[in-house]
Amino acid sequence: MARIRSVDARGWIAGHALLVVAAAFLLTACGSLQPQPATTTRPALPAQYDPPLLAAPAAEPAAALQARWWSQLQDAQLDALITRAIAANRELRTAAARIAEARALAGLVDARAQPLVSLGGYAARDRQSDNGRFGPLEFNPVNERRVGFDASWELDVFGAIARRQEAARADALAAAAQSGAVAVSVAGEVAAIYVELRAAQAQQKALRELIEAARGIEQLVAARERAGLASTFDRLRTEQQVLVTMAELPLAQAREQNAVRRLGVLVGGDSQTLLTELAPLKPLPAVLPALPAALPAALLERRPDLLAAESQWQAALARVTAAQADRYPRISLGAAIGQLSIRQGNFFNGASAAWNFAAALRAPLYAPDLAAAAAVERARAEQAALSYESAAVNAVLEVEQAALRLQRAQEREAQLAAALATDLEALALARIRYERGLTDFLGVLDVVRSRSQVELQWVEARAQTFVQFVALNKALGGGWDAKAVALSAAAKP
């Protein structure tokens, strides 16, 4: 392509200097009239939980430990199950696709804010009528050839494009946060079912011990019957107690197998293989892990569902400002530079150079659809704000309820543990008194029944304590998957 003669460009600029100055003044004036984006105000949360159930520990767990709260249970099998469940979960894979879509849309909005440059050309052969308006032409038909660059750019004077970029980035953040919310739910569900599984196994272990103890008493009564010191009625009552205790064992086994099948669905594994893997009994930790020293306001930073709601609100506010800016004038610039000739021999000559520079202004004078579009976006922003406030209030309620349930579960477990210790001591004394003939068999049988009931209740209460511990960690926003955090950070402007 031949060089464009600079004298032509200088002449065009000189001839339109007044227009250039006026356009610059207009841009400066319009820039001060940009619609300002609305400020986001987070929902007001109480200064502390009511009642203040969460006492701050001596040392707050590290951030990585808070994110993977289940690691505090120090169970490698639980860690592996949660990792497998997160990898196999279809909702999480769908959420990852939504993140990719949101980031691609953000890139599309960014691309539309850039100048458009294209290279084009054409060749045509054209014949005009000799009987037309201009009569016979000197060259008819004629070959026309053109090649060159075209560029266009809409100036974002009133910030409509910038606000849409903000909305797209906020949408990407919301998608990443929603992925984290799914990860929290999956991790919590796996942990809760795993606790139920270990509780069912602990119940089976306790039942077998109770059966052995009942059989020991049965043998004692049978020996006393042979010696004429006990009746057949007493022996039959001991046999009944053994059978009643054994009847509880299939129920505990069914709970174990049901928990394994539910875990199999979550981790995408075969239930029989999983049952073999989890068959060895593992007791729950003797001491409940420490809880994070979280205040209500911290939920806005830690709970992924609240982060998603906040990002959606910010996106809605940005769209309101963009819709308002659409009602302002639009200014665009265009340029075309190339070669144009009807003769092949002089196509690359300087005389064949063609160029064009243009500026366009379009101002809506009567556009009721733009006002309606702005009203729609304001209504959507109001909905997003109310959803955010409701989510924040419900989050505080969930934490308070989960903390209250955990506190009551711990109290129940402690009371049942004390009752179990009393029953064990009472059973030992009742057996000695029965062997010495100081009491009848009914006293021993009552203590055996009491111990059986209390021990099973204590195992269940201990499991409930850890189930509520899981629920509280979920309510506090713990367990956000690290991949979702990384995607969220990458999506930030």
Q: Domain check: are 101 and 225 in the same one?
A: yes
Domain assignment present for residue 284? The answer is yes
**Both structure tokens of 320:** 């309101």
What CATH number corresponds to the domain at position 236?
1.20.1600.10
Residues 8 and 129 in one domain: yes
The pLDDT value recorded for residue 56 is 47
Output 349 or 317, whichever has higher pLDDT. Answer: 317
Core vs surface per residue 1-25: b (16+ CB within 10 A) or e = eeeeeeeeeeeeeeeeeeeeeebee
Among 2-16, 27-41, 347-361, name the most confident range. Answer: 347-361
How does strand 142-155 pair with strand 116-126?
Answer: antiparallel
Same domain membership, residue 231 and residue 349: no
Average pLDDT, integer, range 134-141: 72
**Whether residues 231 and 300 fall in one domain:** yes
The verdict on residue 196 lying in a domain is: yes
pLDDT at 184: 86
Query: Going by C-beta distance under 8 Å and a sequence separation of 6 or more, which residues neighbour residue 161?
Result: 109, 112, 113, 154, 322
Residues 3 and 89 in one domain: no
Mean per-residue pLDDT for 70-91? 86
Confidence (pLDDT) at 376: 93
347 shares its domain with 486:
no
* Predicted confidence band of residue 441 (pLDDT cuts 50, 70, 90): low
Give the structural domain span for 53. Answer: 48-113+157-328+372-491
Question: Do 378 and 403 fall into the same domain?
Answer: yes
In a domain, 403, yes or no: yes
Q: Which of 443, 442, 417 is nearest to 430 (CA)?
A: 443
pLDDT (average), residues 459-474: 90
CA distance 58 to 134: 97
Tell which of 343, 362, 381 closes a domain.
362
Task: Give percent above pLDDT 70 in the chain.
Answer: 80
Q: 128 with 137: CB under 8 angstroms?
A: yes
On whether residue 241 sits in a domain, the answer given is: yes
Arithmetic mean of pLDDT, 106-110: 87
Determine what percent of the chain is predicted with pLDDT higher than 90: 15
Task: Give how many domains the chain has, as a whole number.
Answer: 2
Token duo for residue 77:
């099998």
Quote the CA–CA distance of 106 and 104 in Å, as a whole number: 5
pLDDT of residue 6: 40
Q: Could you tell me the pLDDT band of residue 43, with boundaries at 50, 70 and 90?
A: confident
Q: Are residues 234 and 279 in the same domain?
A: yes
Distance (Å, whole) CA 483 – CA 469: 24
Q: Is the pLDDT of residue 442 over 70?
A: no
**Angle (CA) 127 128 130, round 5°:** 120
Mean pLDDT of 255-276: 86
Q: 19 lies in a domain?
A: yes
The pLDDT of residue 62 is above 70: no
With contact defined as beta carbons under 8 Å apart, do 241 and 214 qualify?
Answer: yes
More confident residue, 120 or 191: 191
The whole-number average pLDDT for the span 420-424 is 82
Mean pLDDT for the chain? 78
Please report the pLDDT score of residue 315 as a whole number: 94
Same domain assignment for residues 129 and 108: no
pLDDT band at 182 (very low <50, low <70, confident <90, very high): confident
pTM score, whole prediction: 0.75
What is the residue type of 446?
D
Residue 377 has pLDDT above 50, yes or no: yes
**Predicted local distance difference test score (pLDDT) of residue 21:** 43
For 333-371, letters b (16+ CB in 10 Å) and e give ebbbbbbebeeeeebeeeebbebeeeeeeeeeeeeeebe
**Do 235 and 317 have their domain in common?**
yes
More confident residue, 80 or 341: 80
With a CB cutoff of 8 Å and minimum separation 6, the contacts of 121 are 145, 146, 147, 148, 338
pLDDT-wise least confident of 52-56, 74-78, 471-475 = 52-56
Query: Which is more confidently placed, 200 or 448?
Result: 200
Residue with tokens 């243009």: 358
Q: Let me know whether 197 and 136 are in one domain.
A: no
Q: Is residue 126 part of a domain?
A: yes
pLDDT of residue 484: 42
What confidence tens digit (pLDDT) does each residue in 273-312 have? 888 888 888 888 777 877 766 677 777 777 888 889 999 9
Residue 332: band (very low, low, confident or very high) from pLDDT cuts 50, 70, 90? confident
Question: So what's the pLDDT on residue 276?
Answer: 84
- Given a cut of 50, whether residue 70 has pLDDT beyond it is yes
43 located within any domain: no
pLDDT tens per residue, range 109-132: 888 888 888 888 877 877 777 776
pLDDT at 178 over 70: yes
Which tokens go with 383? 């909905």
Name every residue whose Cβ is closer than 8 Å to that of residue 287 and which is 6 or more positions away in sequence. none
Residue 12 has pLDDT above 70, yes or no: no
Residues linked to residue 361 through DSSP beta bridges, in sequence order: 331
d(CA 448, CA 446): 5
Q: Say if 367 falls within a structural domain.
A: no
Q: Which stretch of 60-64, 89-93, 319-323, 357-361 has the lowest confidence by average pLDDT?
A: 60-64
User: Are 19 and 99 in the same domain?
Assistant: no
User: Is the pLDDT assigned to residue 24 strictly greater than 70?
Assistant: no
CATH classification at residue 2:
2.20.200.10
